[in-house]
Structure formats: structure tokens, C-alpha cells
Amino acid sequence: MGLKSFVEVHPDSHFPIQNLPYGVFRPEPGSEPRPGVAIGDYVLDLSAIASAGLFDGPILRRSDCFHQPNLNKLLGMGRPAWTEARATIQKILSSTEPTLRDNASWRQKALVPMDKAEMLLPVAIGDYTDFFTSMHHTKNCGIIFRGPDTPIPPNWFHLPIAYHGRASSVVVSGTDIVRPRGQGHPTGNSPPYFGPSLKLDFELEMAVIVGPGNELGKSIDVNEAADHIFGLVLMNDWSARDIQAWEYIPLGPFLGKSFGTTISPWIVTLDALEPFACDAPKQNPLPLPYLTEKVSKIYDISLEVRIKPAGEEQAHVVTRSNLKHLYWTLTQQLAHHTINGCNLRPGDLLGTGTISGPEPESYGCLLELTWNGQKLLSLGGTTRKFLEDGDEVIISGFSKGNGYNVGFGACSGKILPSL
């Protein structure tokens, strides 16, 4: 284990000194948003640390990146700045370093109890892209929507398929989601269905938060792509399956998705995840050269989705999956995104797509878990085909280290009835 903080951290906590995920928060209602990192049950206020002159390295000493309402400026500064920030923060929080530990006034200013902090979106998201990189999810959706013949389209094994999502409706964990209204397939000669979605679903995803971008017209080499990734968040890409099924021919998902996408407030950095890197699945056929990596890795992150029906105390686990089930790596996704010269910008959000594992109990959405409403999913005393009003969906995820966890906290949202 080694490294230890003077801040007490419970062994089950997602936020030991080995993690130090970044977020943006208000320490009290009405105060200015500012960057922070999670440590145990506290948020370390990075604007206070910066004001105290404790970021004393060559890159961050004169930067105002911690006096911003979002993390975009830090993200744009790239890996050297992130490495320096992590080293400084780990030192400041370490049990052997007296600077903050023994200064009650600084501690008072800089360590905010997490239950007092209001977490906000950590970044201003310029563009949000959602990939489709779990083979199991792709196969299941293909069978459900298009039948058992070639459920995986032939292009899928050659490129990480994706679509542009809606950036404006990305919200932070804890934000309620209003059940969308929209059109669904007509029955017989009637006009299309119109009303509240009858097939509201979650999608268990993770997403990359982009660091430095690229110039329009240039591409990012797949072997350098990791330097353009600041970290990962949990993501719930809420989906209205009836709206989606009716609208998506021929241009893809639109209103079936754009009513809301929830991300975790904490961005766990690639540095914190590095101990949990593992080999990515073998790819067959071999990818084209621009997608061929010297080292092809993914991260072992255990993921879980729970649903808490209205009025119940307890949330019920409905699926357990893992990021490592993805076919295409995060760096392949990012490199592919830029191969045509498309420019990424700091703070862009690149979703993985639904992360389904091979077994039915690891499927990442209700569409798959209930096979488009053909099976009932048990939630203790009640059942679900799709989400009902008042349901709260809670995604969590963590990697298990030797005596500590590196986790993401929760990514949750509750369904409110349609207006």
C-alpha cells in the first residue's frame, strides 16, 4: 500500500490518496465553482491550495488553472501539468508532510466535507461523442432491432462506430431526468404513437474526458492518443427505446438520447488507473495500421448498476460488468475520431457505448436485460421491463488495489414524470 494520507480514509472508500479524482464544486450554496480533488470524505479545494502558494512547481506556479469554474484550462495544459499537479497534491495530503497537516487554518479552508460540497459538471463540454464498442451490446442490439442474421454489421470489426451526441443535456450525477415525450412506431394504419416514452432505459457507460485537442485537419496518432486523455468518468446515456426505434432510420439516434446524459462528478485520471491496466481483447481481423497500437490496453474497472424504486429504502443490483469487456480501446476510439481531421478540444466527452459483458447478468441496459421488454427483471418485491417514474438508477465503479480502491463514486439520476 505504501502511500497514506493524514486525512482518514476508510478502507472501502473510493477516494484514497492513490486516486485523487478531479471535480468542480461549490463549498457552500452560492459560492464560486472551483476545482477540487476527492480525498476520503473530503474535497480538497484546489483554488485554496493555489491561493496558499502550495502549487510551487514550474508549470503550475504561475497558472490560474485552479481559479476557474471548470477544469478545461488544466485539461488543455497536458500531461506535464497533470503529473506536476498529482505529485504536489499527493505530497500535500501525505501523512508525512506537515505543510497542510499541521496548519489548522489552511486545513479549515482547503478541506471541505464532501456532504457539504455541491458537485457540478467538472468540464465545459464542447462536443460529446458516443461510441459503440462492446461487441456483446452490439450483437444483442442487432438481434433485437434487426434480427439474428448478421446482428453485427460488417463494418463493426474494422472501425469503432460512433455518433455525435448532444452536449447541452449532459448533466452531473444527482440531476433528475424528466421522462421524455416523443413519437413511437404507429400500429396498423394509425398515426405514430405520441406521448411519454414507454421504454425508458439506462445505458451503463464510461467516458473519456479529452485533454489537449488537435488542430482541425490534423490527426492524433493512436500511439500518442493516451496523452490526449485526462481521465474517465462513469456515464449513464439515458435512452428512450421507443423514440429511438422509430426515429433512427436512416441517420441514427437523436431525440431518443438527447433528453439527458448523466456523468459522475469525479474524473479519475489515467495516472490513478494505470495500476489497473490490462491487455485489451485480441482483435480479429487485425485493425488497419492507423488503429494498430504498440501496446493495446484497457482498464479493469468493476461496474455495477442498481435501481432504487420510488419509496423504497434499498437499491437492487441489476447488472455487473467491467470496462475490460470493450473490444475497441479508448486510444483507438480517440485516434479514429481524428483520422478525418476532426478537431477535439479539451473537455470533450467520448462515451464508450454501453458496456455489456458476455453473460446475461452483465448486460449494460434494460433493452438487453429484459430483451426489449420480453422478460421481467426482478427488483426484490417488484419487477421492471423498463424504467418507471420515481426509479433512481445508480451506476458505480471501482478498481480494487492492494488494500485500497480507486473508484468513481456514484453516477445517479431519478426519473421524474413527463410534463
- Numbered residues of the known binding site for substrate: 132, 146, 244, 248, 354
Rounded Cα–Cα distance for residues 120 and 47 (Å): 15
- The least distance separating a second copy from the CB of residue 198, rounded to whole angstroms, comes to 13
Q: Which stretch binds a second copy (CB under 8 A): 2-10, 105-113, 215-223, 402-410?
A: 215-223
- Please give, one letter per residue, the 3-state secondary structure of 200-268: EECEEEEEEEECCCCCCCCCCCHHHHHHHEEEEEEEECCEEHHHHHHHCCCCCCCCCCCCCEEECCCEE
Q: DSSP 3-state assignment of 394?
A: strand
**Positions marked active-site:** 137
Q: Which is nearer to a second copy, 127 or 271 (CB)?
A: 127
The dihedrals phi and psi of 252, each to the nearest 5 degrees, come to 95, -175
Q: Which is nearer to a second copy, 174 or 275 (CB)?
A: 174
Q: Which is nearer to a second copy, 60 or 225 (CB)?
A: 225
Here the cell at position 356 is 455489456
Binding of a second copy at residue 69 (CB under 8 A)?
no
> What number of chain residues touch a second copy (CB under 8 A)?
68
Q: Is the peptide bond before 160 cis (omega within 30 degrees of 0)?
A: no
Among 203, 237, 247, 392, binds a second copy (CB under 8 A): 247
Q: How many CB atoms lie within 10 A of CB 216?
A: 10
Buried b (16+ CB within 10 A) or exposed e, 143-154: bbeeeeeebeee
Residues of this chain, 283-302, that bind a second copy according to CB under 8 A: 285, 288-290
Query: What is the amino acid identity at position 397?
Result: G
Residues of this chain, 148-167, that bind a second copy according to CB under 8 A: 153, 155, 158-159, 161-167
The residues that bridge with 210 in the sheet, in sequence order, are 229
Binding of a second copy at residue 253 (CB under 8 A)?
yes
Among 63, 133, 236, 258, binds a second copy (CB under 8 A): 258
The dihedrals phi and psi of 276, each to the nearest 5 degrees, come to -110, 10
Query: What is the amino acid identity at position 260?
Result: G
Q: Which is nearer to a second copy, 51 or 343 (CB)?
A: 343
**Order of strands, sheet of 34-39, starting from the edge strand that comes earlier in the sequence:** 111-113, 42-45, 34-39, 22-26, 118-120
Distances (CA, A) of 394 to 53, 202, 282, 318, 416: 38, 10, 31, 10, 15
Binding of a second copy at residue 375 (CB under 8 A)?
no
CB-CB contact of 305 with 384 (8 Å):
no
Binding of a second copy at residue 260 (CB under 8 A)?
yes
DSSP letter, residue 289: G
Annotated binding residues, written as ranges, equal: 130, 132, 146, 203, 205, 237, 244, 248, 257, 261, 354
Binding of a second copy at residue 48 (CB under 8 A)?
no
Q: Which stretch binds a second copy (CB under 8 A): 241-249, 271-279, 319-327, 371-379?
A: 241-249
Start-to-end CA span in the chain (Å): 51
Q: Which is nearer to a second copy, 38 or 349 (CB)?
A: 349
Q: Which stretch binds a second copy (CB under 8 A): 31-39, 42-50, 73-81, 251-259?
A: 251-259
Among 10, 61, 116, 146, binds a second copy (CB under 8 A): 146
Binding of a second copy at residue 178 (CB under 8 A)?
yes
Residues of this chain, 322-351, that bind a second copy according to CB under 8 A: 336-337, 339-345, 348
Positions touching a second copy (CB under 8 A) are 126-127, 129, 132, 142, 145-146, 153, 155, 158-159, 161-169, 171, 177-178, 180-183, 186, 191-192, 194, 213, 216-219, 240, 243, 246-256, 258-260, 285, 288-290, 336-337, 339-345, 348, 416, 419
